[in-house]
Amino acid sequence: MINNVYFCNLKNKFSENVGWSCFQIGVLCLPSSALISYVFLLVALFEGSFKRSDLYWREYWNYPLVLASFLMLLGCIRSHTGWLAWLGLFNWLPFFWCFWGLQPYLLTPQKRRQCAIWLVLGSLPVLITGFGQLWLRWEGPWELFDGLIIWFISPGGEPLGRLSGLFDYANITAAWLSGVWPFCLASVLHPFIFGRNRVFSFFLLIAFVSAMILTDSRNAWGSIFLGLPLVFGSASWSWLIPLMLICFLPVIIAVLPVFDFGIQQFARSIVPESIWMRLSDMQFVDTRTFESTRIGQWKIGLNLIFEKPWLGWGGSSFFNSLSFKNRIISWALS
């Protein structure tokens, strides 16, 4: 009897170690090889889902995800795009499962800290290839393991002049760096990546922020500032948020077309032209229609939500319905 209990405990311990090891490898490889990362994360997901004591329905945060899944299924039934709508579910439903199935690997502060370390270190290939393509004119594709890993690196960035690295598109690179850079800032405030050494963490932080700026992505620029209150914590909000608002005020005035012309021109004389033109889409005024700008897309998106707020339009609606496109154009011009 004692031997059986010992064997079961040993088996559970081995299973937990396998899942935890696979999870760490998956997180480390996530930016550089989606295929390798997904294989290891899938193993960790099965281990974390089926070999645990708590049940799915005991996690109350799963209820909104189940409701959202049900509404998405109904939306697919009513969608006019057929099997493409059902295929689009795979962009969402697996992540609802991952939310619960990967929780065992993030339950303790030590595990969350280790996950943050792998996210930062796993981003080094993104930074290296990004700086290399801009400054050294590196060009891909680069292949590893007989094509198992392929990095498409465009000399000068993609689009040209914007850092994209191994993701081969600047906005995707910006999205990844935006999610990881707060961990770099945290490692400077409370060192945990390189022991107690803040110097390496500081240089890594500078590299992340520089890369985010060089992506020329407005989302990345905003994330640099939005991450500050989250990392510094609520104790700093009383002085940090007002300070940020004061710093942002000239930018807001220079960008939004609701202020007096004289005041806006004064603000634009303070804010660098490359910033306010980029934020207001002014550099595309002669080459792009209004509906293709960010503000135009926001307007279109809100109209889409208000017309079908619960069940949505279904996957691939935009690309497969002429009437849908006509409706978007009329919204954009109205």
Q: What count of other Cβ atoms lies within 10 Å of the Cβ of residue 122? A: 21
The pLDDT value given to residue 202: 93
| Residue appearing with tokens 């405990």 | 9
What pLDDT does residue 252 have? Answer: 87
The token pair that represents 12 in the structure block: 């559970």
State the pLDDT at residue 32.
92
DSSP line for 87-116: HHGGGTHHHHHHHHHTGGGGSSHHHHHHHH
Tell me the CA end-to-end span of the chain in Å, nearest whole number: 77
Task: Render pLDDT for 185-195 as a digit per residue (tens, 0 to 9).
Answer: 999 998 888 88
Structure tokens at 67: 């409701």
Residues 6+ away with beta carbon under 8 Å from 191: 197, 198, 201
Overall residue count recorded for the chain in this entry: 334
Element (H, E) at 149: strand 149-151
* Separation of alpha carbons 332 and 334, rounded Å: 6
- The encoded tokens of residue 35 equal 């295929």
In this prediction, residue 116 carries a pLDDT of: 95
Q: 77-110 b/e with 16+ CB inside 10 Å = b?
A: eebebeebbbebbeeeeeebebebbbebbeeeee
Taking 50 as the pLDDT cut, the residues of the chain under it are 2-11, 321-323, 331-334
- Least Cα distance to 120 among 197, 40, 187 occurs for 187
Residue 189 CB partners (closer than 8 Å, separation 6+): 231, 232
